[in-house]
Amino acid sequence: MTAKLTFVLGGADSGKSAFAEKLALGADPVVYIATAPVTDEEMVKKIRAHQERRPASWETIEVLDLSLKRAILDLNAPLALLDSLTMYVARIMDTPDPQAHMRDVLDAMTISASEFIVVSDEVGLGVVPATESGRAFRRLLGMINQEVATAADEVYLVAAGLPLTLKSGAADKGAT
Protein backbone atom coordinates (compact mmCIF):
# COMPACT_ATOMS: atom_id res chain seq x y z
CA MET A 1 0.00 0.00 0.00
CA THR A 2 1.10 3.55 -0.58
CA ALA A 3 1.42 6.45 1.81
CA LYS A 4 -1.72 8.54 2.42
CA LEU A 5 -0.71 10.87 -0.44
CA THR A 6 1.84 9.89 -3.06
CA PHE A 7 2.70 12.40 -5.79
CA VAL A 8 4.20 11.27 -9.11
CA LEU A 9 5.67 13.90 -11.44
CA GLY A 10 7.24 13.58 -14.84
CA GLY A 11 7.37 15.00 -18.32
CA ALA A 12 5.14 13.98 -21.21
CA ASP A 13 5.48 10.27 -22.00
CA SER A 14 8.02 9.83 -19.19
CA GLY A 15 6.39 6.71 -17.75
CA LYS A 16 4.81 8.48 -14.78
CA SER A 17 1.37 6.93 -15.25
CA ALA A 18 2.74 3.40 -15.60
CA PHE A 19 4.85 3.92 -12.47
CA ALA A 20 1.83 5.23 -10.53
CA GLU A 21 -0.19 2.21 -11.66
CA LYS A 22 2.56 -0.12 -10.41
CA LEU A 23 2.42 1.62 -7.02
CA ALA A 24 -1.33 0.93 -6.90
CA LEU A 25 -1.07 -2.78 -7.73
CA GLY A 26 -2.04 -4.95 -4.80
CA ALA A 27 -4.62 -2.54 -3.43
CA ASP A 28 -8.18 -3.72 -3.88
CA PRO A 29 -10.32 -2.08 -4.93
CA VAL A 30 -8.64 0.79 -6.73
CA VAL A 31 -10.59 3.72 -8.11
CA TYR A 32 -8.93 5.36 -11.10
CA ILE A 33 -9.95 9.02 -11.41
CA ALA A 34 -9.49 9.99 -15.05
CA THR A 35 -9.46 13.67 -16.00
CA ALA A 36 -8.42 13.60 -19.67
CA PRO A 37 -11.09 14.51 -22.19
CA VAL A 38 -11.16 12.88 -25.60
CA THR A 39 -10.06 15.69 -27.89
CA ASP A 40 -8.71 13.90 -30.96
CA GLU A 41 -7.63 10.49 -32.28
CA GLU A 42 -4.26 10.71 -30.54
CA MET A 43 -6.02 11.10 -27.17
CA VAL A 44 -8.32 8.18 -28.00
CA LYS A 45 -5.23 5.98 -28.50
CA LYS A 46 -3.52 7.27 -25.36
CA ILE A 47 -6.61 6.73 -23.20
CA ARG A 48 -7.10 3.25 -24.67
CA ALA A 49 -3.48 2.33 -23.87
CA HIS A 50 -3.96 3.49 -20.26
CA GLN A 51 -7.19 1.48 -19.98
CA GLU A 52 -5.61 -1.69 -21.39
CA ARG A 53 -2.71 -1.43 -18.94
CA ARG A 54 -4.95 -1.25 -15.86
CA PRO A 55 -6.39 -4.32 -14.14
CA ALA A 56 -10.02 -5.01 -15.10
CA SER A 57 -11.01 -4.90 -11.43
CA TRP A 58 -10.19 -1.19 -11.13
CA GLU A 59 -13.19 1.12 -11.23
CA THR A 60 -12.84 4.24 -13.38
CA ILE A 61 -14.49 7.53 -12.55
CA GLU A 62 -14.26 10.25 -15.19
CA VAL A 63 -14.12 13.81 -13.90
CA LEU A 64 -14.46 15.98 -16.98
CA ASP A 65 -15.89 19.04 -15.25
CA LEU A 66 -15.03 20.94 -12.05
CA SER A 67 -16.30 18.27 -9.64
CA LEU A 68 -13.05 16.64 -8.49
CA LYS A 69 -13.63 17.58 -4.85
CA ARG A 70 -17.09 15.96 -4.91
CA ALA A 71 -15.69 12.81 -6.55
CA ILE A 72 -13.03 12.56 -3.83
CA LEU A 73 -15.53 13.05 -1.01
CA ASP A 74 -17.79 10.36 -2.52
CA LEU A 75 -15.02 7.72 -2.74
CA ASN A 76 -15.45 4.39 -1.06
CA ALA A 77 -12.17 2.62 -1.81
CA PRO A 78 -8.88 2.15 0.00
CA LEU A 79 -6.90 3.69 -2.86
CA ALA A 80 -7.58 6.23 -5.60
CA LEU A 81 -5.23 7.00 -8.46
CA LEU A 82 -5.78 10.47 -9.98
CA ASP A 83 -4.41 10.79 -13.51
CA SER A 84 -3.87 13.56 -14.23
CA LEU A 85 -3.73 16.67 -12.15
CA THR A 86 -2.40 18.50 -15.22
CA MET A 87 -5.60 17.97 -17.19
CA TYR A 88 -7.72 19.06 -14.23
CA VAL A 89 -5.69 22.23 -13.68
CA ALA A 90 -6.17 23.10 -17.37
CA ARG A 91 -9.91 22.86 -16.76
CA ILE A 92 -9.90 25.18 -13.73
CA MET A 93 -7.67 27.87 -15.25
CA ASP A 94 -10.60 30.22 -15.82
CA THR A 95 -12.21 29.79 -12.41
CA PRO A 96 -12.08 32.87 -10.15
CA ASP A 97 -9.35 31.40 -7.91
CA PRO A 98 -7.84 28.18 -9.28
CA GLN A 99 -5.34 27.82 -6.43
CA ALA A 100 -8.12 28.03 -3.83
CA HIS A 101 -10.10 25.50 -5.86
CA MET A 102 -7.13 23.11 -5.76
CA ARG A 103 -6.61 23.70 -2.04
CA ASP A 104 -10.21 22.56 -1.54
CA VAL A 105 -9.46 19.44 -3.59
CA LEU A 106 -6.30 18.79 -1.56
CA ASP A 107 -8.23 19.30 1.68
CA ALA A 108 -10.79 16.74 0.49
CA MET A 109 -7.95 14.24 -0.02
CA THR A 110 -6.66 14.80 3.51
CA ILE A 111 -10.04 14.13 5.12
CA SER A 112 -10.88 11.19 2.89
CA ALA A 113 -10.49 7.66 4.23
CA SER A 114 -8.88 6.76 0.89
CA GLU A 115 -5.19 6.91 0.12
CA PHE A 116 -4.21 8.77 -3.05
CA ILE A 117 -1.67 8.55 -5.82
CA VAL A 118 -1.71 11.76 -7.86
CA VAL A 119 -0.01 12.06 -11.25
CA SER A 120 1.02 15.43 -12.72
CA ASP A 121 3.31 16.83 -15.36
CA GLU A 122 6.53 18.51 -14.28
CA VAL A 123 6.37 21.67 -16.37
CA GLY A 124 9.34 23.58 -14.99
CA LEU A 125 12.03 21.76 -16.96
CA GLY A 126 10.85 22.38 -20.49
CA VAL A 127 10.80 25.17 -23.01
CA VAL A 128 9.19 28.42 -21.87
CA PRO A 129 5.79 28.55 -23.62
CA ALA A 130 5.55 31.12 -26.40
CA THR A 131 2.10 32.38 -25.41
CA GLU A 132 0.99 34.31 -22.36
CA SER A 133 -1.73 31.72 -21.65
CA GLY A 134 0.83 28.92 -21.89
CA ARG A 135 3.11 30.68 -19.42
CA ALA A 136 0.16 31.33 -17.07
CA PHE A 137 -0.75 27.63 -17.18
CA ARG A 138 2.84 26.57 -16.52
CA ARG A 139 3.10 29.00 -13.60
CA LEU A 140 -0.23 27.84 -12.08
CA LEU A 141 0.54 24.13 -12.46
CA GLY A 142 4.03 24.69 -11.03
CA MET A 143 2.59 26.40 -7.95
CA ILE A 144 -0.08 23.71 -7.49
CA ASN A 145 2.52 20.96 -7.92
CA GLN A 146 4.55 22.59 -5.13
CA GLU A 147 1.52 22.62 -2.82
CA VAL A 148 0.72 18.97 -3.53
CA ALA A 149 4.38 17.98 -3.08
CA THR A 150 4.48 19.75 0.28
CA ALA A 151 1.35 17.91 1.45
CA ALA A 152 2.48 14.55 0.05
CA ASP A 153 4.06 11.78 2.11
CA GLU A 154 6.00 10.52 -0.91
CA VAL A 155 7.05 12.31 -4.10
CA TYR A 156 8.62 10.72 -7.17
CA LEU A 157 9.99 12.24 -10.36
CA VAL A 158 9.88 9.84 -13.32
CA ALA A 159 12.23 10.33 -16.28
CA ALA A 160 12.73 7.81 -19.09
CA GLY A 161 10.57 5.37 -17.13
CA LEU A 162 12.84 5.50 -14.08
CA PRO A 163 11.55 6.87 -10.77
CA LEU A 164 13.66 9.14 -8.62
CA THR A 165 12.51 9.49 -5.01
CA LEU A 166 12.28 13.17 -4.10
CA LYS A 167 10.55 12.68 -0.76
CA SER A 168 9.79 9.56 1.23
CA GLY A 169 7.83 8.98 4.39
CA ALA A 170 6.09 11.26 6.82
CA ALA A 171 9.46 12.28 8.29
CA ASP A 172 10.06 14.38 5.16
CA LYS A 173 6.58 15.99 5.25
CA GLY A 174 6.86 19.68 4.58
CA ALA A 175 10.28 19.41 2.91
CA THR A 176 10.28 19.76 -0.84
Provide the annotated active-site residues.
50
| Whole-number Cα distances in Å, 14 to 8, 17, 122, 139, 149 | 11, 8, 10, 21, 18
Q: How far apart are CA 31 and CA 76, in angstroms?
A: 9
Q: How far apart are CA 34 and CA 56, in angstroms?
A: 15
Instruction: Report the candidate in 82, 78, 154, 151 with the shortest Cα–Cα distance to residue 113.
Output: 78
